[in-house]
Structure 1
Amino acid sequence: MCLGATAGAYILTLFAAKYRERVLGLVLVSPLCRAPTWTEWLYSKVESNLLYYYGMCGLVKESLLQRFFSKEVRGCSESPESDIVQACRSLLDQRQSMNVWQFVQTMNGRYDLTEELKQLQCRTLIFVGENSQFHAEAVHMTAKLDRRYCALVEVQACGSLVTEEQPHAMLIPMEYFFMGYGLYKPSQLDCSPRSPLSPSCISPELLSPESMGVKLKPIKTRARLQV
């Protein structure tokens, strides 16, 4: 069972297609699966040049944050920057600019995985924020995978890193996903060990996908669940 986001999701997809017998399932967050568009290629090329000549300057940091986070958490003149973006900005200051340069260069040279997607035999759960720059990639990937074993979860008001911006939106879909493997069996009396939400304390209406800002598409499993 593997989980990866953006570039990590690309690598895991490539691995799962090549070593099908070694991957049970994939949980992908804003996955990349196609070669970069001309717009993305040019955008990344500018980032690479800035990193190479000026290091981790303010313009590069803003560009990277814009790529992975939504406008809501990046803040503006009316609302402050969120804690997670501030933490990410601090982490970027600690990274060596040449390492980031190599990462941007590598991902800008990625190739199309559309043909490899046909070789995937494991079930796949895909998360993507509706404001993600990679939203079209996730939709394309979902369209190419076998719909019987793939589900797409679109998270409202969220950027590419759903794991950081709205991790709570991932709980219920992942619980159902793991139930298909028999890895998780919820109790009617106890709340989920993976979730801070307690049914005895929270109104059922608040646990609906719409209330949590999630657009769910049904997850279809290969085997029936035993109740």
Structure 2
Amino acid sequence: MCMGVTAGAYILTLFAMKYKQRVLGLILISPLCKAPSWTEWLYNKVLSNLLYYYGMCGVVKELLLKRYYSKEARGNAQVPESDIVEACRRLLDERQSLNIWQFLEATNERPDLSECLSKLHCRCLIFVGEYSPFHGEALCMTSKLERHQSALVEVQACGSMVTEEQPHAMLIPMEYFFMGYGIYKPVKLSVSPRSTLSPLCISPELLSPESMGLKLKPIKTRIPMKV
């Protein structure tokens, strides 16, 4: 059972397609599945050149943070940035510029997987933030996968790093995902789910902040309904 974020999700998707017997399920957060668009390619090239000539400067950090976190998390003149973004900023100072440069170059050269996703036979639970620059890729990936094998949860007011910004928004979808494998068993279950990703298992009502007892932005779900 594997979980990956952005480029990590891309690598795990490749792994699952190649080693089908070794992967039961995938939990993918803001996954990549297509070759970079010309805007992303140019964006990465600008970052690469800045890293090459200036190292981990302030501009590079801001561009990277913009890619992974929402405006709410990054803050503004009136609202301070969140603790998560502050921690990420400190971590970026500790990273070697060469490693980040190589990561961006590899990301820019990734092949398109969208037409090969039919080879992915394991079940997939996909999370994506509303403001993630990879939102379109998550939608594309969901459209290419078998409808009964995948579910997409869109988290509003969130960037690419759903795991960091709104981790509680992932709880109930993951509980029902694991339930289908017998990994998670609730004390009481009024419905016996036929499928991990069936509408009976993950409904918009269950994913509401009220049902979770949390103060979260609303969560949108895209789950195919049986006619």
Class of the TM-score when normalised by the shorter of the 2 chains: 0.7 to 0.9
* Partner AA of 1:26 in structure 2: L
Taking every aligned residue pair, what percent have the same amino acid on both sides?
A: 67
In the alignment, does 2:150 pair up with 1:155?
no
Distance 1:11 1:216 in 2: 25
Who is 1:215 aligned against? Answer: 220
2:142–2:151 CA contact under 8 A, matched in 1: yes
Residue 167 of structure 2 corresponds to which residue in structure 1? 167
**Paired position in structure 2 for 1:102:** 102
Cα shift readout 1:114-169 (whole Å, capped 9, x = no counterpart): 12211001000000001110000000000000011100000010000000000000
Cα 1:75–1:205, aligned 2, differ >3 Å: closer, same or farther? closer
Contact 1:209 1:216 in 2 (8 A): no
Indicate if the aligned counterparts of 1:14 and 1:116 stay in contact, CA closer than 8 A.
no
Partner of 1:22: 22
Q: Secondary structure at the match of 2:119?
A: coil
Partners of 2:82 and 2:145 in 1: how far apart?
35
Corresponding position: 1:10 with 2:10:
yes
Q: Secondary structure at the match of 1:118?
A: helix
Following superposition, the deviation at residue 207 of structure 1 comes to 1.5
Q: Which residue of 2 aligns with 1:47?
A: 47
Q: CA deviation at 1:209?
A: 10
- Distance in 1 of aligned mates of 2:224 and 2:143: 14
Q: What is the CA distance between 1:25 and its match in structure 2?
A: 0.1
Q: Whole-Å Cα distance in 1 between the matches of residues 212 and 88 of structure 2?
A: 30
- Please say if residues 147 and 224 of structure 2, whose CA atoms lie closer than 8 Å, have aligned partners that are also in contact: no
Is the Cα contact below 8 Å between 2:6 and 2:31 reproduced in 1? yes
| Structure 2 CA distance for partners of 1:219 and 1:22, relative to 1, 3 Å | farther
What is the CA-CA distance between 1:217 and the residue it aligns to?
3.4
The residue aligned with 2:57 is 57
Following TM superposition, where does structure 1 have runs of at least 4 consecutive aligned residues deviating by more than 3 angstroms?
208-212, 217-220
SS of equivalent residue, structure 1 residue 84:
helix
Q: What residue in structure 2 maps to residue 206 of structure 1?
A: 210
Tell me how large the CA RMSD over aligned residues is: 1.9
Q: What residue is the counterpart of 2:194 in the other structure?
A: none
Give the TM-score normalised by structure 1. 0.87
> 1:210, CA displacement in angstroms?
10
**Corresponding residue number in structure 1 for 2:87:** 87
Give the whole-Å Cα distance in 2 for the aligned partners of 1:218 and 1:205: 18
Q: Which amino acid aligns with 1:172?
A: I
Cα distance per residue 1:158-212 (max 9 Å; x no partner): 00000000000000000000001111110139xxxxxxxxxxxxxx971169974
Provide the rounded CA distance (Å) in 1 between the counterparts of 2:209 and 2:111. 44
2:78 alignment partner, SS class: coil
Structure 2: segments with no counterpart, 5+ residues: 190-207
One-letter amino acid matched to 1:207: S
Aligned to 2:143: 143
Shift of 1:219: 8.0
